[in-house]
Structure 1
Amino acid sequence: MLRHQLKAKCLIGKLSNACLRSLSSNIQQSPFGPLPAAPTDLLSDFIAHDWAKCGDRTFIHEGITNSSLNYEDLANRTANFAASVADEVSPAGSGRTTATVFSPNHVDYLPLVAGFLRAGGIVSPANPLYTEYELRGQIEKSKSTILIAHPAMLETAMKAVKGTDIKKVIVLGDSDCGVVGAVPFDSLAGSHANPIMSTPDYVKSAVSPADLALLPFSSGTTGLPKGTMLSHQNITINLQQFEAPEGKYMSPNSTLISPLPMFHIYGFTASLLHTAKKSNTLVTMANFDLPRFCELVREFKPERAHLVPPIILGIAKHPIIDNYDFSSLKMVISAAAPLGAEVEAGVRERLNIGCKQAWGMSELSPVGTVTPDDNLKSGSGTIGPVVSGSEGKIVDLETGEALPPGESNTGELCIRGPQVMMGYLDEPEKTRECLTSDGWLHTGDIAYVDEDGYYFIVDRLKELIKYKGFQVAPAELEAVINTNPKVADCAVIPVEDAQGGEVPRAYAVKSGDIDDDELLAYVEERVSPHKKLRGGVVWVDEIPKSAAGKILRRVVIDMDRSKN
Structure 2
Amino acid sequence: MEIQNPFQIIWENSSNDFAAFFNAKFAKYGSQLAMIDLEDGKQWRYSELCGWVEKCAKRLQEIGVAANTRIAMITCTTCQVIFVQLACSILQAVVVGINGYLPIGHAKYLFKFLHKEIKVIADVLCDFESFANDQNVTTTAKTNNKTGMMIFFSEGSTDPPKPTEISHQSIVINVQQLSCPVFSPPMQNQKFLLAISMLVKNTQVIINNDEMLTRFYILIQKINTFLVYGLTTASGFCTFSKFGNNNYKSVGVPLPGMVAKIVNIETNELCMPHQPGRLYVIGPQIQIRSHRSSKASNSLADVDGYLNTGDFAFYDRDGYIYIIGKIKNLIKYRGTLTPPSQVETFLLTHPGIEDCAVIGRQDALLGEVPAAFVVKTSKYSQLSPADVRQHVFGKIGHIKELRGGVFFVNEIPRSSSGKIIYRQLKQTWERDRSGLRETNSSSSLPNIGDGSTNKEKRGLRIAKLQKSASKPVIQINRVQIKGNTDHNI
Provide TM-score, normalisation by structure 2.
0.66
Residue 240, structure 1, aligned to residue 176, structure 2: yes
Q: 1:221, CA displacement in angstroms?
A: 8.4
Give the Cα–Cα distance (whole angstroms) in 1 for the partners of residues 442 and 72 of structure 2. 34
Which position in structure 1 is the counterpart of 2:461?
Answer: none
Compared CA separation, residues 529 and 355, structure 1 to 2 (3 A): closer
Residue 509, structure 1, aligned to residue 439, structure 2: no
Query: Contact 1:385/1:455 (CA < 8 Å) preserved in 2?
Result: yes
List aligned pairs for 1:208-287, cutoff 5 A.
208-219=144-155, 223-243=159-179, 245-246=180-181, 261=186, 264-269=188-193, 271-285=194-208, 287=209
Which position in structure 2 is the counterpart of 1:43?
Answer: 18
Q: 1:415, CA displacement in angstroms?
A: 0.2
Which position in structure 1 is the counterpart of 2:118?
Answer: 146
Instruction: State the one-letter code of the partner of 1:131.
Output: P
Q: 129, 135, 147: which one pairs with 1:194?
A: 135
Compared CA separation, residues 230 and 510, structure 1 to 2 (3 A): same
Identity of aligned residues (%): 20
Listed as ranges, the gaps of 5+ residues in structure 2 are: 331-339, 345-356, 360-408, 454-489
Compared CA separation, residues 501 and 431, structure 1 to 2 (3 A): closer
Give the Cα–Cα distance (whole angstroms) in 2 for the partners of residues 203 and 79 of structure 1. 17
List aligned pairs for 1:56-455, cutoff 5 A.
56-86=31-61, 88-91=64-67, 96-150=68-122, 172-174=125-127, 186=128, 190-191=131-132, 193-196=134-137, 200=139, 202-204=140-142, 207-219=143-155, 223-243=159-179, 245-246=180-181, 261=186, 264-269=188-193, 271-285=194-208, 287-289=209-211, 292-293=212-213, 315=217, 321=218, 326=219, 347=221, 351=222, 353-374=223-244, 376=245, 379-404=247-272, 406-407=273-274, 409-455=275-321
Query: Contact 1:221/1:444 (CA < 8 Å) preserved in 2?
Result: no
Give the Cα–Cα distance (whole angstroms) in 1 for the partners of residues 419 and 289 of structure 2. 29
SS at match of 1:397: coil
Moved more, 42-51 or 103-112: 42-51
Compared CA separation, residues 99 and 370, structure 1 to 2 (3 A): same
**Residues paired across the two proteins, number:** 369
Give the Cα–Cα distance (whole angstroms) in 2 for the partners of residues 70 and 430 of structure 1. 43
Cα deviations by residue, 1:180-202 (Å, 9 ceiling, x for unpaired): xxxxxx49x82353224xx94x3
Give the Cα–Cα distance (whole angstroms) in 2 for the partners of residues 390 and 428 of structure 1. 24
Query: Contact 2:69/2:94 (CA < 8 Å) preserved in 1?
Result: yes
Query: Contact 1:414/1:441 (CA < 8 Å) preserved in 2?
Result: yes
Give the Cα–Cα distance (whole angstroms) in 2 for the partners of residues 463 and 288 of structure 1. 31
Instruction: State the one-letter code of the partner of 2:149.
Output: A
SS at match of 1:424: coil
Provide TM-score, normalisation by structure 1.
0.58
Q: 1:528, CA displacement in angstroms?
A: 4.7
Give the Cα–Cα distance (whole angstroms) in 1 for the partners of residues 444 and 301 of structure 2. 37
SS at match of 2:141: helix
Cα deviations by residue, 1:219-270 (Å, 9 ceiling, x for unpaired): 3685211111110011111111112x44xxxxxxxxx9x8965x6122111x
SS at match of 2:8: coil
Compared CA separation, residues 27 and 39, structure 1 to 2 (3 A): same
Instruction: State the one-letter code of the partner of 1:273.
Output: I
Query: Contact 2:228/2:240 (CA < 8 Å) preserved in 1?
Result: yes
SS at match of 1:413: strand
Query: Contact 2:234/2:288 (CA < 8 Å) preserved in 1?
Result: no
Residue 457, structure 1, aligned to residue 457, structure 2: no
Instruction: State the one-letter code of the partner of 1:281.
Output: Q
Cα deviations by residue, 1:164-217 (Å, 9 ceiling, x for unpaired): xxxxxxx7235xxxxxxxxxxx49x82353224xx94x331xx21111011111
Q: 1:373, CA displacement in angstroms?
A: 0.7
Query: Contact 1:359/1:368 (CA < 8 Å) preserved in 2?
Result: yes
SS at match of 1:399: coil
List aligned pairs for 1:535-550, cutoff 5 A.
none
Compared CA separation, residues 388 and 259, structure 1 to 2 (3 A): closer
SS at match of 1:216: strand
Give the Cα–Cα distance (whole angstroms) in 2 for the partners of residues 422 and 90 of structure 1. 25
Query: Contact 2:158/2:421 (CA < 8 Å) preserved in 1?
Result: no
Compared CA separation, residues 123 and 528, structure 1 to 2 (3 A): farther
List aligned pairs for 1:11-26, cutoff 5 A.
26=1
Moved more, 274-283 or 233-242: 274-283
Query: Contact 2:157/2:420 (CA < 8 Å) preserved in 1?
Result: no
SS at match of 2:257: coil
Query: Contact 1:50/1:279 (CA < 8 Å) preserved in 2?
Result: no
Compared CA separation, residues 267 and 415, structure 1 to 2 (3 A): same
Compute the RMSD of aligned alpha carbons: 3.9
SS at match of 1:125: strand
Instruction: State the one-letter code of the partner of 2:131.
Output: G
Give the Cα–Cα distance (whole angstroms) in 2 for the partners of residues 99 and 219 of structure 1. 20
Compared CA separation, residues 442 and 220, structure 1 to 2 (3 A): farther
Give the Cα–Cα distance (whole angstroms) in 1 for the partners of residues 12 and 413 of structure 2. 45
Q: 1:40, CA displacement in angstroms?
A: 1.5
Q: 1:454, CA displacement in angstroms?
A: 1.4
Give the Cα–Cα distance (whole angstroms) in 2 for the partners of residues 495 and 527 of structure 1. 7
Compared CA separation, residues 402 and 220, structure 1 to 2 (3 A): farther
Listed as ranges, the gaps of 5+ residues in structure 1 are: 1-25, 154-170, 175-185, 247-255, 298-314, 316-320, 327-331, 333-346, 475-491, 532-564
SS at match of 1:357: coil
